[in-house]
Amino acid sequence: MKKRSGFTLAEVLITLGIIGVVAAMTIPTLIQNTNSVRFATQFKKSISTLSQAALMAQAQYDIDYAGTSVASDSAGVTAQNTTGTGCAAQTVAAGNYTICGILNNTLAGQTYQGAYSEVKGADNTALYKDAVTMKTTSIPMTNMYVYALSDGSFVGFDKTAKKCSLGAGNVLNDTMLTTGALKDCLGFIDVNGAKPPNTEVTCSNDTAALTPNTPCALAATGSTIGDIYPIVFHDGVVEPATNAAKATLARGK
């Protein structure tokens, strides 16, 4: 009997088919795991950037998020009798004690994108839909102004936000964010900018809530991995505003 060497075409095709099936099953999971780590790391970086902006404003102009005496919308700055009522034109140096003023004076490379409803994606359609079309309704995004940071992430904040103070000795909780002094100081960070998925991060049960004092469990993969993270501005810092965002920050450390 003649001894066979090598593989037949059928055997090679079967092997390649098995490899293809295994790859199809594992590659999406690997991509999701990579995105989860990347998003969490970028979220931590953006949180730090926004907190540093407040500290810089405090050092240079003696103002932080608690010292924003008026809202960033035109009505707020007009009442303050300052020039440059549009968000992009406001600066703390010119007397605009607003969140727009702080960001314009302290964030290098930032670009004002406009109101939430004006932010556009690459396909020239609205980048963000109304909160109902997102996974959760943790934050009312439609009343926000949006900036692009130098690293490509987006940050949004309520245009009516002012006097964002937690108060000495207090710990952030859900009451402050829903009915208390910080309910108008909510915002979001989209670590992926204009790129998808443009969905809010949620807990492993696919929900999220304004309860940052009780972080939830996060799934490593699946639909709970989002690139939008609710935040709250107050005093000289920015903190996660939901249980899922708080858990993500811990994952990114």
Block residue for tokens 């037949």: 8
Cα–Cα distance, 236 to 58 (Å, whole number): 8
155 near 147, Cβ under 8 Å? yes
What percentage of the chain has pLDDT greater than the value 90?
41
Whole-structure pTM value: 0.81
In total, the chain counts a number of residues equal to 253
102 near 65, Cβ under 8 Å? yes
Give domain limits for the chain.
Answer: 9-61+107-251
Q: Residue 123 corresponds to which tokens in the numbers above?
A: 């396909």
**pLDDT value at position 122?**
44
**pLDDT value at position 36?**
72
Q: How far is CA 38 from CA 32, 42, 140, 245, 249, in A?
A: 10, 6, 26, 14, 12
Which residue ranges in the chain fall short of pLDDT 50?
27, 30-31, 122-125, 130-132
**pLDDT value at position 142?**
78
**pLDDT value at position 189?**
95
Q: Dihedral angle at the C-alpha atoms of 178, 182, 185, 187, nearest 10 degrees?
A: -50
Express each pLDDT in 206-237 by its tens digit: 888 999 998 899 876 665 678 899 999 999 99
